[in-house]
């Protein structure tokens, strides 16, 4: 067994160079991992890139296992990869939300009250962003955490997408946040050409991108790590500066 690392929710180990075992880091993550074992076998054949398809190998303690999705985190996203991810997200967002709901996928409400209590006192200029995130659509199956650590590639092409723990019924713009607003122009342009986002969708994606570090602040508070909290607050301030001259969402 080789330790692969751990994220906010789970720990991962590589077994025999082929299998990935994941264990929840907190009790409330257990049902999330179990849900993946129900949803992913149904979802995987509908997508154009490999994704994890976990099964339960131990109920107590909970361990789920899936075949290793090969590839490395994206370091230099290119146009080919942008087109591939655009096609992947187009396929994902076209999946019937009603069918996903039957398999336990739900809407994930934003922790607005915690944002107000734990972030706004330090960054009061963020109040306008929170106001813009009210009443956004939540009718599309979305990955919920698309970023360079979850989009894998080798030799200039994508080889898979991982970590579906945040799979939810939400705003498709959430999955476009990093891809459109934090990648090289050649990647973002190719993704946009494949996906075809409207200007409204682009703007909502920017707002989701700006919101990303707010979650880091809450996580730092949850684990009692002032450094993580401080880094999150710095990220909040930096991203609020992006697109400040744009008109607000209506």
Q: Is the model more confident about 28 or about 47?
A: 47
Q: Residue 250 falls within a domain, yes or no?
A: no
Does 1 have pLDDT greater than 90? Answer: no
Does 2 have pLDDT greater than 90? Answer: no
Q: Are residues 166 and 235 in the same domain?
A: yes
Three-class secondary structure assignment of 28-50: HHHHHHHHHHHHHHHHHHHCCCC
Residue 63: its pLDDT value, please? Answer: 96
Q: Are residues 136 and 112 in the same domain?
A: yes
Q: Residue 38 falls within a domain, yes or no?
A: yes
Domain boundary among 43, 67, 91: 67
Give the mean model confidence (pLDDT) for residues 46-66. Answer: 97
Q: Are residues 81 and 48 in the same domain?
A: no
Q: Residue 23 falls within a domain, yes or no?
A: yes
Residue 4: its pLDDT value, please? Answer: 80
Q: Are residues 214 and 113 in the same domain?
A: yes
Distance CA 208, CA 188 (A): 16
Domain boundary among 67, 96, 116: 67
Supply the range of the domain harboring residue 174: 72-240
Residue 243: its pLDDT value, please? Answer: 59
Contact (CB, 8 A) for 48 and 195: no
Does 123 have pLDDT greater than 60? Answer: yes
Does 247 have pLDDT greater than 50? Answer: no
Count of CB atoms within 10 A of residue 192's CB?
18
Q: Are residues 62 and 113 in the same domain?
A: no
Q: Are residues 55 and 106 in the same domain?
A: no
Q: Residue 169 falls within a domain, yes or no?
A: yes
- Stated pTM of the model: 0.92
Q: Residue 247 falls within a domain, yes or no?
A: no
Does 249 have pLDDT greater than 50? Answer: no
Q: Are residues 59 and 87 in the same domain?
A: no
Q: Are residues 147 and 204 in the same domain?
A: yes
User: Can you give the CATH number for the domain in which 79 is found?
Assistant: 3.90.1200.10
User: Can you give the CATH number for the domain in which 59 is found?
Assistant: 3.30.200.20
Distance CA 114, CA 124 (A): 14
Q: Are residues 191 and 227 in the same domain?
A: yes
Contact (CB, 8 A) for 249 and 132: yes
Q: Residue 245 falls within a domain, yes or no?
A: no
Q: What percent of the chain has pLDDT over 90?
A: 88
Q: What Rg do the C-alpha atoms of the chain give, in angstroms?
A: 18
242 falls in which pLDDT band (50, 70, 90)?
confident
Does 245 have pLDDT greater than 50? Answer: no
Q: Are residues 116 and 221 in the same domain?
A: yes
Q: Identify each DSSP E strand in the chain by its residue range.
A: 2-6, 10-15, 19-24, 55-59, 62-67, 72-73, 140-142, 151-154, 157-161, 168-170
Q: Residue 176 falls within a domain, yes or no?
A: yes
Q: Are residues 198 and 94 in the same domain?
A: yes
Domain boundary among 11, 37, 67: 67
Domain count, the chain: 2
Give residue-wise pLDDT tens across range 148-203: 999 999 999 999 999 999 999 999 999 999 999 999 999 999 999 999 999 999 99
Q: Are residues 130 and 7 in the same domain?
A: no
Residue 244: its pLDDT value, please? Answer: 42
CA dihedral over 157, 160, 163, 164, signed as positive or negative: positive
């Amino acid at each position: 067994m080789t330790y692969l690392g751990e994220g906010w929710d789970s720990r991962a180990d590589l077994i025999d160079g082929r299998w990935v075992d994941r264990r929840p880091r907190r009790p409330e993550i257990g049902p999330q991992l179990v849900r993946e074992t129900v949803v992913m076998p149904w979802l995987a054949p509908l997508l154009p890139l490999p994704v994890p398809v976990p099964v339960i190998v131990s109920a107590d303690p909970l361990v789920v296992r899936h075949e290793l999705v090969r590839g490395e985190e994206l370091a230099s996203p290119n146009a080919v990869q942008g087109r591939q991810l655009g096609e992947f997200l187009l396929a994902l967002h076209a999946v019937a939300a009603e069918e996903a709901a039957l398999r336990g996928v739900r809407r994930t409400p934003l922790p607005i009250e915690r944002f107000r209590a734990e972030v706004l006192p330090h960054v009061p200029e963020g109040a306008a962003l929170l106001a813009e995130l009210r009443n956004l659509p939540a009718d599309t199956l979305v990955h919920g955490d698309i970023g360079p650590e979850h989009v894998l590639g080798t030799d200039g092409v994508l080889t898979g997408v991982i970590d579906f723990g945040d799979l939810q019924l939400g705003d498709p713009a959430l999955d476009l946040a990093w891809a459109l607003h934090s990648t090289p122009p050649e990647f973002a342009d190719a993704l946009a050409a494949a996906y075809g986002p409207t200007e409204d969708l682009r703007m909502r994606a920017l707002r989701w991108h700006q919101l990303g570090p707010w979650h880091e602040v809450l996580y730092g508070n949850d684990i009692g790590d002032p450094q993580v909290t401080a880094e999150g607050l710095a990220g909040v301030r930096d991203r609020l500066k992006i697109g400040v001259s744009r008109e607000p969402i209506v």
